[in-house]
Amino acid sequence: MLETGPQDASPETLVPPDPHVVVLFGATGDLSKRKLLPGLFHLDRAGHLSDCRVVGTSLESIDTTAFRRMARQACEEFGRGQVSPEEWHAFERRLSYVPGSAGPTGLAEAVSVAEDEIGEPSRLLHYLSVPPKAATGVVRMLGDAGLVERARIVMEKPFGVDLASARELNAEVHKVFAEEQIFRIDHFLGKEAALNILALRFANGLFEPIWSRNFIDHIQIDVPETLSIEGRGGFYDETGAFRDMVVTHLFQVLAFVAMEPPVELAPTAITVEKNKVFRSMKGIRPEDVVLGQYAGYRDEPGVAADSETETFIALKCRIDNWRWSGVPFYLRTGKQMAEGGRIISIAFREPPKSMFPQGSGVGRKGPDHLTFDLDESSRVSLSYYGKRPGPGMFLDKLSMQFSLNELGIAGDTLEAYERLIRDAMGGDHTLFTNAEGIEELWNTSAPLLEDPPEVLTYERGSWGPEEIHELIRPNRWRLPFQRRWRD
């Protein structure tokens, strides 16, 4: 049970950022419809924005009226709660559209009109919801349009495909924008559960002393997906599961789990500690990796008939520093798997000697685990052995669980993209990655990218190739759970 006082301050009551013009590239695309436009609408009606205008742009030759109609449909289909006529009327007047064919001049004019409507000094936030290949072209366009001063730029994953391309992309972006203006987004770090890792680790005397190799046996970060590539064959076949998910998401979550305490809860201090983790990671060895491709992947539209792109990856990595020496980190993600999930599972070392008799149940269900569920309910579970009521000494695996839904304020929280958009507007880099961190991760990945293992076939609806069990032995994958989360 959470104890709070009636006057407890909430981080959601922070002062809204400065007035902004948001330039949304790829405004008619899937991410824009599912997350960005509904997110901006929610931020606006919840009072998290000052005066704001959204200038949408993409390759589609539509007008502002059509864009507003599309945006309303997106907010009604993918947003949270009902869209009332009054709320929508207040929001849609903030929306305008300029086709990409208008070029730098047309875009600059549309932004100027939006700034005039605000009527006071404002900032620019450029959100690049575009394919990675198009990013440098958009960056150059912003430079040509003179839309760099007072601006920040949000860039989607993947940021490069290897160390050389990441360095090249960083160099190109730095020709136009300074590093402090760049926000490389990873929506996993915007989730309440990811932030709760920091709170649980560093705010509690119960957990801080045991967060090391002395008490932790191994750690799993597991993100299986039931979805297929969903019509993204052209993009996915050039990217694969490792570049799409591990470098951009799972390694970032790993850094939150593994980093040293920052000197303060501030963007620079947290970034420094995350980058130390990336520098300490040993190169990913091919023999510590299992790659898979679901049966029928090559029949997907846009996928090469002889494709060797992985839709699944499981790997073991190690952090070569004092805190984590000898503790393996197991990461797994894949498409078309048996269940979807997003968990971080901390397995604690078992007692060195058991005084309990054989048959008591001790050790039968593995070590104690602290488990974070990264979905929007932000659940946390601590499992442990406890005595079964009745005669004799028989032990069962028990658990204590917490869910954000128990507080009755889940509807007041920000979803990941909403939080990250707001942070970018405020210039807060805490949940974003800098150029150094990206390049360190590609450097760690080099051995795997240079000599990848064979890609194995796995059946749709499975948990991946059978070889994953040998990878993690003598431990076991935590998904699927033997015990389900309580509602």
Give the residue numbers marked as catalytic.
249
Dihedral angle of Cα 443, 449, 453, 458, to the nearest 10 degrees: 110
Q: How far apart are CA 124 and CA 116, in angstroms?
A: 13
Query: Cα 306 to the chain's mean position, in Å?
Result: 31
Question: Can you tell me whether residue 398 is helix, strand or coil?
Answer: strand
Neighbours of 125 (CB within 10 A): 21
Cα angle 128, 129, 135 (rounded to 5 degrees) comes to 50
**Tokens representing 412?**
């007041």
The answer to whether the Cα torsion of 365, 368, 373, 377 is positive or negative is positive
Question: Can you tell me whether residue 118 is helix, strand or coil?
Answer: helix
| Helix (H) / strand (E) containing 54 | strand 52-57
**Tokens representing 372?**
């974070």
Q: What is the DSSP letter of 79?
A: S
Q: How far apart are CA 57 and CA 72, in angstroms?
A: 16
What number of CA atoms fall less than 13 Å from residue 255's CA on the CB side?
30
